[in-house]
Structure 1
């Protein structure tokens, strides 16, 4: 329930901010919201704006949605080891030390998030600490640090922004065509209910297709992060960590946290999966 409320409030705040920005742009440049230029502006503002605001807030959202405890001063040997391991790997990758956190969850998982390489968060679940050996956990941390060093958060945000813009633009253009056809090209003071209905339907349809594109690039990033982890700690440790995940329970992470987690969540098909199959990832490391 906490995640749902946080999701709704965050998205409401983002919509309000982008709505104000859009109104200012229209007023300053005198753009009509029904012109092609106006539709493209709406699509770009909401497509890229929503993606980058989410990226900017990603650490804050991740901490609150998972209840993660950020380690500032290590209190236990485990926390000290986590901090030392991430610090060493970050130095090897030439990035600033990410924040390190632990969140309470029985699943074996970890994730990386943040707006840039040098302003990131790496979090591990309590389930990972209880069920993995140090070598396996070290490989998982290397996987997440590789995500950060590769700039995967920004890369996928750009991809998400592009596909969002195309989805919104195409949906509104086609909704306008359908609306004009059904109304007999009659001039109206504003869009009819059929326009809003088809706009929503087209956005759902194109959104599903766009998710296939985003998932494809996400899977590519997973292979790259596995490869980066193998370079940091050795392929044997990374393969052992992935083998351990075969008996893992389904990930409860959502959104970008799941996309950059070591374990994947539920998917209706491989095309929509953010992670490749574990066997494929293990074979790729051989």
Structure 2
């Protein structure tokens, strides 16, 4: 099984292959464009028709050598470049953009619909198993086939979408296996590569898509514009015919890059939920359903889905391996049925998301018996706490309370500041305070992760207000300069950073615009010193842990910083410098602080939560296990 960094290296190789294939495709399209338009706009052809008819094309070309039509080449290249850049920038916003284009509807975290709640629970379980942020969840209500996709630019703005058919026709364990498959794409970094792939293929197939749009517009135009519609029809046919070259090249590029990734995603899904039979059964159900009708958006995003969305006329252009081979990888003894896969009837009554869903129970011959899958340990979440964490505006009360100090006077001032917000009421605050007192640091950290979809549901203005409210609470600690335990201050600051990460734009307020080697060394020294102080009580042990880390990671000549007072703003600036580093350098830093914490061959709960938090903030998998 490949680990995260091996997969990242393979993704970089795939990105290099994508660039090469894209350049070749662009070159071919540009050459064909200038050749095609060179023939159309060559006025010598019309003036020498007699010569061509009576003496032949070869004689004409001998007397009139071919002239390159550079304007068409420049226009075609510019059009491809502009559309590719536009599409890539559009997709950087997050996976919600793709979900909306595909007609998906967002599932609210505080939903009361049984099937929606089941889907949210499954996503939360797999997020905990995969040790990543809980993504937003979408449902494609108009799609009856079993399918799903994960999309986004980073782990922090990723979304998972499933079809109505997946909720209707899959058991809970099978649904969990499909969601685990999509989480493997998120954890392995495939979603970022998929964004690049979408942008590249959209750019080279844009001419054909433009022709399809003009054709659709001409078909729906009013009868009073027959002449205009006729012109549009001719233009559409020309663009579609010419753009079909780009469409074929786009399909070939997607097939060349994506097919092998599905096998790896299937394997990782089994690692997350430990139930290969459930994934195999989900594939069998998907194989028994008809594929959806051809759709421009589905064609464009076909490589994102759990199962192929259409049957290509040549198997070499398929973005997914044959479904039978995928099943046989999971169940080696499986043989394809001679009469084909049969369609399964609904497991649940899912009436357009409006009526109460019910569960139908089938005989053993209808529903396969499978082993129990992984379940997330969320028993510490009481009904009241679960209701608060899944309600977007209750997060205004719950999340800032995780940042409150233990000092009585300071805590009183922070609570008064919290109650001054228009979204916080004393009744909810009392409930949250009583429930949070029962949680340990690790459980509080998981609570912030589970609140991510709720926070993301807030409007932009409310997200900024929540971020500012959290900052005010933390700054009250810095300004008061109370000698609180350093490990408590660091953990609370990490909670704040994760909250700011979830409010996206608010985090960018203090990001460094430039970075240099001196700043990076200072940041490395600062955090390694912090971990050494927190993980070891004796001053000599702290120094030895720091020196050993410097020797291990070739940072000789540095001395540990004597940190007596923690400053949240300075720490935020230093973390911003580290977040902007490439994956390899971020991983080196994470390994350094892990080495420091484990210098005494023991990692306590506070250190484990701290390392887990740093891994999440740096968008890396945590190497520390429970």
Q: Please tell me the TM-score bracket, short chain as reference.
A: 0.5 to 0.7
SS of structure 2 residue aligned to 1:124: strand
State the match for 1:215 in structure 2.
255
Match of 1:133 in 2: 171
Write the distance in 1 (CA, Å) between the matches of 2:77 and 2:134.
39
**1:243 equivalent among 253, 278, 284:** 284
Compared with structure 1, are the counterparts of its residues 71 and 46 closer, same or farther at alpha carbon in structure 2 (3 Å cutoff)? same
- Matched with 2:307 is 263
CA contact (8 A) 1:111 1:258 kept: no
Q: 1:80 to 1:280 in 2, by over 3 A?
A: same
Matched pairs, number: 226
Structure 1 residue 74 corresponds to structure 2 residue 74: no
Q: How does 1:122-161 map to 2 (within 5 A)?
A: 122-161=160-199
Tell me the SS of whatever aligns to 1:118. helix
Indicate if the aligned counterparts of 2:104 and 2:161 stay in contact, CA closer than 8 A: no
Contact residue 107 and residue 251 of structure 1 kept, 8 A: yes
> How far 1:47 moved relative to its partner?
2.8
| 1:1-286 aligned within 5 A | 43-54=80-91, 56=93, 58-63=95-100, 65-104=102-141, 105-161=143-199, 204-233=244-273, 234-251=275-292, 254-255=298-299, 257-266=301-310, 267-285=312-330, 286=332
State the Cα deviation string for residues 25-70 of structure 1 (Å, max 9, x = none): xxxxxxxx96x99986664443343244245365134236424242
TM-fit CA distance, 1:96: 1.1
TM-score, normalised relative to structure 2? 0.32
Query: How far 1:212 sits from its partner (Å)?
Result: 0.5
CA distance in 1, matches of 2:101, 2:249: 30
Contact 1:89 1:232 (C-alpha < 8 Å) held by counterparts: yes
Does the CA-based 8 Å contact 2:259-2:320 persist in structure 1? yes
Distance verdict in 2 for CA 1:38–1:65, change over 3 Å: closer
Contact 2:81 2:203 in 1 (8 A): yes
- 1:124 Cα deviation after fit: 1.8
Go from structure 1 to structure 2 and tell me whether the alpha carbon gap of 1:102 and 1:210 turns closer, same or farther (over 3 Å shift): closer
Cα distance in 2 for partners of 1:219, 1:262 equals 11
C-alpha change, 1:52 and 1:282, in structure 2 (3 Å) is: farther
SS at match of 2:158: strand
After TM superposition, the structure 1 stretch with the greater mean CA deviation from structure 2, 262-271 or 197-206, is 197-206
Show CA shifts across 1:194-242 (max 9, x none). Answer: xxx9998765424412420212222222222212211112222211111
Q: Name the one with the larger strand percent.
A: 1
CA–CA distance in 1 between the matches of 2:299 and 2:92?
A: 11
CA contact under 8 A between 1:147 and 1:260: conserved in structure 2?
A: no
Distance in 2 (CA, whole Å) between partners of 1:89 and 1:103 is: 20
* Equivalent residue, structure 2, for 1:9: none
Other structure's SS at 1:71 match: coil
> Is the alpha carbon distance of 1:122 and 1:58 closer, same or farther for their aligned partners in structure 2, counting shifts above 3 Å?
closer
Q: Deviations over 1:51-94 (max 9, x none)?
A: 44245365134236424242321313332222122112122223
Structure 2 gap ranges (5+): 1-69, 207-236, 333-626
Q: How far, CA to CA, are the matches of 1:244 and 1:167 in structure 2? A: 32
Residues 56 and 115 in structure 1, CA contact (< 8 A), matched pair in contact too: yes
Which of these two proteins has the greater Rg computed from alpha carbons?
2
2:433 alignment counterpart: none
Distance verdict in 2 for CA 1:101–1:206, change over 3 Å: closer
Unpaired segments of 5 or more residues in structure 1? 1-32, 169-196
**1:138 CA drift (Å):** 1.0
Equivalent-residue separation in structure 1 for 2:92 and 2:325 (angstroms): 29
